[in-house]
Structure 1
């Protein structure tokens, strides 16, 4: 399976499984069926309503907007996914590892005109098939690609969920100063270490956290990251 290594803004290199061409095609088919069903329903309503000419034109224009902007709005408000992508467990991600910005979503949506509509999807399929990062033209211009959201290792096998203890004492109370995005990065690093066996990744992440929080680890890198998760979860519950 094709993979992509992404260097995050925290200078941590993460590895993701890329969405396959088949995943993207099936997701597109699902989305297309949803839009067809929507169009049929609207057509039935319009027929039954018996609108006059001008009103019918306005009605058709208004109800066409969700079809035109479906992909853009879905990805913006559904964390890089359409319904089809969510079913196939794939999502849009920025090449730099961040959540794509609106301008990136907009660029890849605009280039659907070339990738999909003007060429009958042929250009998009060819680009995805031959591109190392599985990018169509819109992805290349926007700096995005699609990855699988489900890691090959079960999250239950990789992430430690602390047992609720009334006498739990945080080893690193400073972790409360981290952001949710930082903790998500820690989780992704742990999963990547379990998949790849690259313990250097855990060590680099530990060093980064030590620098940011001005602390010194009392544990091995991977054990330290688990402790960070446990402490953060515990302290967040107390703070709430």
Structure 2
């Protein structure tokens, strides 16, 4: 899987797993099933003949009601991502989320740009076809299906072939879609296993925040797994710089491990 590396204000790198084209495709399919289900039930349970009779067959009134019914479908992706922190129901089920390329939560403007540019990513050729059909040109049903499929493929082709799996809307809004881990294990949190007899060595660790501790632990675990000693040295140097600790450990790995345990000792006992 592709990775997105972000450097934090503490000059520590955090890595995110970028969602694959397959994950985004299945999320897209789930979201469209939800949309079609809404439309189906709306037309099944609303008595449009009664509405037609009530307004005396007023064409514009009926069209206005149609627009109102389709509004939740039209803006589904936009309001879902704003309200659900970068996720639609499909994205939630596939455990993927939209974030800004800098690692922050996208703004409402970013979400709006992504939503608006879906027109190019998924519906451009369909809109062209509709325009041509409105001119009275003869069109075959097979051509309609072909244009519809090609129109939907534009966004997915960009997702597959761009460096960060970004469709056009992502590229312009500067967003990416990341994959969230299936579960949060104890080792993935800032918590450490410490015994009642544990004796801390570095009281200055309380200068760190919970977010600092999480970043340190994530980076530490990845560096240990990859035998990345350069990262361990940089991490040790940054911890000492921020906390002012005078290390009694000559080994970087042992020092950082002690810092994490001490942080848990002091924060859990407060």
TM-score w.r.t. structure 1 length? Answer: 0.77
**Structure 1: unaligned runs, 5 residues or longer:** none
Alignment partner of 2:173 out of 142, 153, 164: 142
For 1:127, the equivalent position in structure 2 comes to: 158
Is it true that 1:189 corresponds to 2:203 in the alignment? no
Distance 1:221 1:48, change over 3 A: farther
Give the total of aligned pairs. Answer: 238
For 1:79, the equivalent position in structure 2 comes to: 85
Whole-angstrom CA distance in 2 between matches of 1:45 and 1:166? 63
For 2:6, the equivalent position in structure 1 comes to: 6
Distance 1:156 1:70, change over 3 A: same
Any idea what the Cα deviations from partners look like across 1:190-213, whole Å, max 9, x if unmatched? 343255332433432333333233
Whole-angstrom CA distance in 2 between matches of 1:171 and 1:127? 52
Whole-angstrom CA distance in 2 between matches of 1:233 and 1:77? 33
Is it true that 1:42 corresponds to 2:35 in the alignment? no
* Residues 25-104 of structure 1: pairs in structure 2 closer than 5 A: 25-47=25-47, 50-51=50-51, 52-53=54-55, 60-104=66-110
Distance 1:113 1:154, change over 3 A: same
Whole-angstrom CA distance in 2 between matches of 1:221 and 1:92? 35
Higher mean C-alpha deviation, range 45-54 or range 120-129: 45-54
TM-score w.r.t. structure 2 length? Answer: 0.70
Any idea what the Cα deviations from partners look like across 1:59-100, whole Å, max 9, x if unmatched? 654453332332223223333222212222222222223333
Whole-angstrom CA distance in 2 between matches of 1:91 and 1:201? 28
Whole-angstrom CA distance in 1 between matches of 2:84 and 2:90? 11
Distance 1:210 1:22, change over 3 A: same
Q: CA deviation at 1:9?
A: 3.5
Is this contact kept in 2: 1:93–1:146, CA < 8 A?
Answer: yes
CA RMSD of superposed structures (Å): 3.5
Q: CA deviation at 1:225?
A: 4.3
Distance 1:48 1:90, change over 3 A: same
Whole-angstrom CA distance in 2 between matches of 1:66 and 1:236? 46
Any idea what the Cα deviations from partners look like across 1:163-192, whole Å, max 9, x if unmatched? 475666554444444444333323432343
Whole-angstrom CA distance in 2 between matches of 1:170 and 1:47? 71
**Structure 2: unaligned runs, 5 residues or longer:** 126-150
Any idea what the Cα deviations from partners look like across 1:82-125, whole Å, max 9, x if unmatched? 22122222222222233333332222222112112224322211
Q: CA deviation at 1:24?
A: 0.8
Whole-angstrom CA distance in 1 between matches of 2:239 and 2:43? 57
Is this contact kept in 2: 1:158–1:190, CA < 8 A?
Answer: no
